[in-house]
Chains A and B, each alone.
Chain A
Amino acid sequence: MLADAKIPEGYVRVFRRPDSMSDAPYTYCPGCHHGVIGRLVAEAIDELGIRGRTVGIAPVGCAVFLYRFYRCDFVQAAHGRACAVATGLKRANPDLIVFSYQGDGDLAAIGTAETVHAANRGENITVIFVNNQIYGMTGGEMAPTTLPGQRTVTTPEGRDVRATGYPLKISEMLAQLDGPAYITRQAVYDVRHVQMARRAILQAFRNQLEGKGFSMVEVVAACPTNLKVSPVDGNKWVTEQALRYFPLGDLKVRDR
């Protein structure tokens, strides 16, 4: 077990897996941002001491194996339905801390209705929304958040907005509603932003503990595999392309 690896004499362990994470190896590709985001979720769960009452919801997509990576209860939801499943769990047992972890295809295409209405009801849940502008697991098809001109396997000549519309700005949409407590957009392409995303995810869980209601952290992420670029260039893609359409920052913060 990695976590129990013997520390040689004279060495001090300064970095380890969060307690909420299991020893299961990640199934993500090199350079994928899921790994960092998943760890930030675990750190938040550790910091708030809520592992024993947390139930996670794994989506359909690259994070479908999410349940393997955590040491808390988990349920896997149908594609797009995580916010409805979260609603059922939380309403059935309000003592649970319920979070969903969803990609852009899951949350912003097939699950748009479930997401919008859970947000509008102000469901007291935490949603982690990983926006990497592509369907990763199925092989790189156009996502609702795919950028104009971006080549995918279903937009081989680049996304033509006249035919397929524009990147869906779901956080901006949800921020217009009265229901949500906290809507923010973050990124993890460098250390500073990892720290900012960490604070946002912590806040989104803290809101649930305090009963503030629907909190969503969108993380603009890179999928180097389907962009067909190196991990470093994946980070560049985020800063030079994606953030032009998805500017970072808090979109809604309700302080009660």
Chain B
Amino acid sequence: MRVLMRGNEAIAEAAIRAGCKCYFCYPITPQGELVEYMARHLPQQGGVFLQAESEVAAINMVYGASAAGVRTMTSSSSPGISLKMEGISYLAGSRLPAVIVNVMRGGPGLGNIAPAQGDYFQATKGGGHGDYRLIVLAPSTVQEAAELVMLAFDLSDHYRVPAMILADGMLGQMMEPVELPEPVDEGTILEKPWALTGAEGREPRVVLSFDLDPQGLKEMNLTLQRTYREIEAHEVRWEEVDTADAEILLVAYGTMGRIAKTVVRLARAEGIRAGLLRPISLWPFPYEPIRALAERIPVVLTVELSAGQMWEDVRLAVEGRAATPFYGELGGVVPTPKEILSEVKKHAR
């Protein structure tokens, strides 16, 4: 059964269906409906909803709940995510799973509450201190948002790496029909033999993100790096639209990815063979698929709601095989398909 839901609400409902037991938050626009939905529905399902005194406290509550072995989540928007970065680094260092939702808005600083994609660097390059990565998933529809939330919990548990849903204000606010995923069978959720459950009848367990001995800390880091290589090998996700015969390839994610789909259609109606590669996992990034397409498509146009953050990864993927122009909008301004189309025309022969 399909139901009409706002993106923020679908993310919240999907988290409950994924078995999220503890949700900690601090209010911020444009993800307010997510907080409200959790306040209304999570306690009814036997879960814990708690509004913290700050984003810093909320992410550290997530840290505690995750250490206790339950599925846990927090959500925020750009300035709030910056505050969470300390705790996210600790989660990564301690190898604690958790899901963090960032419904991005315009920045830097207080910015505004309009949709933007200016947090790409922060999300995909670690964001906090130290050598770590998050699994970053970027939905472009409400339906996909719900599905990726379920996936984020599974991947985070499996790899013991925090996962981020990187959405934006437009996706959070828009309403679409959505087929909600079936609730997970709690029995199928991965066992956590590292969780702090009390040392009765077993050796004590510790959850740490530090080792003062450089060799020890190096080993901890190598464990993380091995995990990241495994994720890169198995968890790259992307969508391709009309790439088979494309003469110009658009690369865009999230809300921009969705607009770019329309642009591809408009371009083809005018005889320009445009195609789209939409990264779904921003980390691990689809370097190889983009590289393969750049072997035969002469122009790879990156389109973002930023000054060109993902563009850097696209250029790393292309490595000079094709021209790599960029088109972006800033400050919460969302370009129309026609504006992007004229950019496509400029670069297509």
**Which residues of the partner chain B approach A85 to less than 8 Å between Cβ atoms?**
60-61, 63-64, 67
Question: Which residues of chain B (163-197) have a CB below 8 Å from chain A?
Answer: 196-197
Question: Which residues of chain A (13-59) have a CB below 8 Å from chain B?
Answer: 51-55, 57
With contacts A67-B206, A96-B198 known, is A81 near B56, CB below 8 A?
yes
**Which residues of the partner chain B approach A95 to less than 8 Å between Cβ atoms?**
198
Least Cβ–Cβ distance between B157 and chain A, in angstroms? 15
Nearest B residue (CB) for A93: B68
Say whether B106 faces chain A, with CB atoms less than 8 Å apart: no
Cα–Cα distance between A51 and B66 once the two chains are bound (Å): 21
**Which residues of the partner chain B approach A116 to less than 8 Å between Cβ atoms?**
53
* Residue interface bits A90-106, CB-to-B below 8 A is 1, else 0: 11110110000000000
Say whether B62 faces chain A, with CB atoms less than 8 Å apart: yes
Question: Which residues of chain B (321-335) have a CB below 8 Å from chain A?
Answer: none
In the bound complex, do residue B57 and residue A89 qualify as a contact, i.e. CB atoms below 8 Å apart?
Answer: no
**Which residues of the partner chain A approach B201 to less than 8 Å between Cβ atoms?**
52
Nearest B residue (CB) for A78: B90
**Which residues of the partner chain B approach A87 to less than 8 Å between Cβ atoms?**
50, 57, 61, 64
Nearest B residue (CB) for A88: B64
In the bound complex, do residue B206 and residue A76 qualify as a contact, i.e. CB atoms below 8 Å apart?
Answer: yes
Say whether B269 faces chain A, with CB atoms less than 8 Å apart: no
Cβ-Cβ contact count across A and B, 8 Å cutoff: 136
Binds A, one of B29-37, B207-215, B298-306: B207-215
Least Cβ–Cβ distance between B239 and chain A, in angstroms? 36
With contacts A53-B200, A81-B87, A96-B198 known, is A76 near B60, CB below 8 A?
no
In the bound complex, do residue B199 and residue A88 qualify as a contact, i.e. CB atoms below 8 Å apart?
Answer: no
Select one of B53, B90, B94, B197 contacting A117, CB under 8 A.
B53
Least Cβ–Cβ distance between B339 and chain A, in angstroms? 44
In the bound complex, do residue B53 and residue A113 qualify as a contact, i.e. CB atoms below 8 Å apart?
Answer: yes
In the bound complex, do residue A113 and residue B199 qualify as a contact, i.e. CB atoms below 8 Å apart?
Answer: no
In the bound complex, do residue A92 and residue B70 qualify as a contact, i.e. CB atoms below 8 Å apart?
Answer: yes
Least Cβ–Cβ distance between B346 and chain A, in angstroms? 49
Q: How big is the A interface, by class?
A: 20 to 34
With contacts A52-B198, A78-B86, A92-B69 known, is A71 near B61, CB below 8 A?
no
**Which residues of the partner chain A approach B56 to less than 8 Å between Cβ atoms?**
81, 84, 113-114
In the bound complex, do residue A89 and residue B53 qualify as a contact, i.e. CB atoms below 8 Å apart?
Answer: no
Say whether A77 faces chain B, with CB atoms less than 8 Å apart: yes
Nearest B residue (CB) for A85: B64
**Which residues of the partner chain A approach B54 to less than 8 Å between Cβ atoms?**
113
Least Cβ–Cβ distance between B86 and chain A, in angstroms? 6
Cα–Cα distance between A8 and B64 once the two chains are bound (Å): 46
With contacts A81-B56, A85-B60, A92-B68 known, is A71 near B50, CB below 8 A?
no
Cα–Cα distance between A195 and B72 once the two chains are bound (Å): 41
Nearest B residue (CB) for A76: B208
In the bound complex, do residue A92 and residue B206 qualify as a contact, i.e. CB atoms below 8 Å apart?
Answer: no
Cα–Cα distance between A89 and B57 once the two chains are bound (Å): 13
Say whether B271 faces chain A, with CB atoms less than 8 Å apart: no
**Which residues of the partner chain A approach B64 to less than 8 Å between Cβ atoms?**
57, 75, 84-92
Cα–Cα distance between A57 and B67 once the two chains are bound (Å): 11
Say whether B65 faces chain A, with CB atoms less than 8 Å apart: yes
**Which residues of the partner chain A approach B197 to less than 8 Å between Cβ atoms?**
73, 93, 96
In the bound complex, do residue A92 and residue B199 qualify as a contact, i.e. CB atoms below 8 Å apart?
Answer: no
In the bound complex, do residue B24 and residue A88 qualify as a contact, i.e. CB atoms below 8 Å apart?
Answer: yes
Say whether B114 faces chain A, with CB atoms less than 8 Å apart: no
In the bound complex, do residue B200 and residue A76 qualify as a contact, i.e. CB atoms below 8 Å apart?
Answer: no
**Which residues of the partner chain A approach B272 to less than 8 Å between Cβ atoms?**
none
Say whether B204 faces chain A, with CB atoms less than 8 Å apart: yes
Cα–Cα distance between A70 and B203 once the two chains are bound (Å): 11
Least Cβ–Cβ distance between B326 and chain A, in angstroms? 37
Say whether A74 faces chain B, with CB atoms less than 8 Å apart: yes
In the bound complex, do residue B198 and residue A88 qualify as a contact, i.e. CB atoms below 8 Å apart?
Answer: no
Select one of A52, A73, A78 contacting B87, CB under 8 A.
A78
Question: Which residues of chain B (192-242) have a CB below 8 Å from chain A?
Answer: 196-201, 204-210
Say whether A72 faces chain B, with CB atoms less than 8 Å apart: yes
Least Cβ–Cβ distance between A38 and chain B, in angstroms? 15
Say whether B52 faces chain A, with CB atoms less than 8 Å apart: yes
Select one of B22, B86, B210 contacting A88, CB under 8 A.
B22
**Which residues of the partner chain A approach B61 to less than 8 Å between Cβ atoms?**
84-85, 87-88, 91
Nearest A residue (CB) for B64: A88
Cα–Cα distance between A81 and B88 once the two chains are bound (Å): 13
Least Cβ–Cβ distance between B319 and chain A, in angstroms? 39
Least Cβ–Cβ distance between A15 and chain B, in angstroms? 24
Select one of A52, A90, A93, A117 contacting B199, CB under 8 A.
A52
Say whether B21 faces chain A, with CB atoms less than 8 Å apart: yes
**Which residues of the partner chain B approach A114 to less than 8 Å between Cβ atoms?**
53, 56-57, 60
Interface residues of A (CB under 8 A from B): 51-55, 57, 64, 67, 70-78, 81, 84-93, 95-96, 113-114, 116-117
Given A76-B209, A92-B22, A92-B70, 5 other A-B residues pairs in contact with their CB atoms under 8 A = A75-B63, A81-B60, A87-B64, A88-B22, A116-B53
Q: Mind listing 19 A-B residue pairs with CB under 8 Å?
A: A52-B200, A57-B64, A71-B204, A72-B204, A77-B60, A84-B60, A84-B64, A87-B57, A90-B64, A92-B21, A92-B22, A92-B48, A92-B69, A92-B72, A93-B69, A96-B196, A113-B57, A114-B56, A114-B60
Q: Which 3 A-B pairs have the closest CB atoms?
A: A88-B64, A52-B200, A84-B60
